[in-house]
Amino acid sequence: MWHRFPIWDKWKSWTKFMALTEYSLELATNHWESLPVEELAGAIIERPNGSGIFRCQGNHIIPVLKDRHVLSSMLLLASYALIEAHVENVLEYSVAKPATSSKLVNDFRAQTTTFDDFLKGGIEAWGTKILTELQRTWTDVAKGKAGLVEVSTVRNALAHGENLVTINMVNRVTAAGGILPWSCGGEIKLTPDLLNEYRARLRSFARVISTAAVTLT
């Protein structure tokens, strides 16, 4: 039986957005770097901004164009949200599939548990539960539990406005067997390469549970 979950069309759309935005930023960077202006600080950029006017010195433009942290952060948050929605879709699919029977599925059928309850404890908890439910393990997922806990830790920090690595972040990732790419107290800085790595791990997890849900009898 073949089933296409909603995540994949949205995932493809975000991937396309990232690639084309990267392309646009590179074009804009090349344009500004090629301008025959000796002192960009003397140039002022103005453009409408709602009911007001946004103004910026020209020498601020190139650093902003080259810094991909904000863009990468937005896409990581969006990608992680897709994974959480996908997990819910997979559980709904399993509940609706008559051949699937387990305590978790039966609890959802009986409405004695909710998806919010299921998500408690972080991806190390609910990720393990759904993999076990679908007769899979973390070894089936790219970079395993440690890799996904790292992604989740970074995602949570960004979602709550944290820009420095804390000891709690380090401890969480270490407990899962992983290591953050920054030291405790260091600045959390995403690059397109790191974003692509994190999205690859999330995609792997999504594919594993998708295939398992459809093929499980």
pLDDT digits (tens, 9 = 90+) for 107-122: 888 888 888 888 888 9
pLDDT at 21: 95
| Mean pLDDT, rounded, for 22-26 | 95
pLDDT digits (tens, 9 = 90+) for 26-53: 999 999 889 888 888 888 889 999 999 9
pTM, entire model: 0.91
Q: Token pair for residue 26?
A: 């590179």
Please give the share of the chain, as a percent, with pLDDT higher than 90.
71
Q: Provide the Cα torsion 48, 54, 58, 63; round to 10°.
A: -110
Helix (H) or strand (E) holding 40: none
Q: Quick one: pLDDT band at residue 138, thresholds 50, 70, 90?
A: very high
pLDDT digits (tens, 9 = 90+) for 161-194: 999 999 999 999 999 999 999 999 999 999 999 9
Q: Decide if pLDDT at 84 tops 80.
A: yes
pLDDT at 2: 67
- Spatial separation of the C-alpha atoms in residues 200 and 196, rounded to whole Å: 6
pLDDT at 217: 64
Of 79, 39, 176, nearest to 121 by C-alpha is: 176
pLDDT digits (tens, 9 = 90+) for 151-170: 999 999 999 999 999 999 99
Domain ranges of the chain: 68-215
- Spatial separation of the C-alpha atoms in residues 160 and 156, rounded to whole Å: 6
Exposure string of 153-163, with b = 16+ CB inside 10 Å and e = fewer, is: bbbbbbeeeee
Q: Are 141 and 114 in contact (CB under 8 A)?
A: no
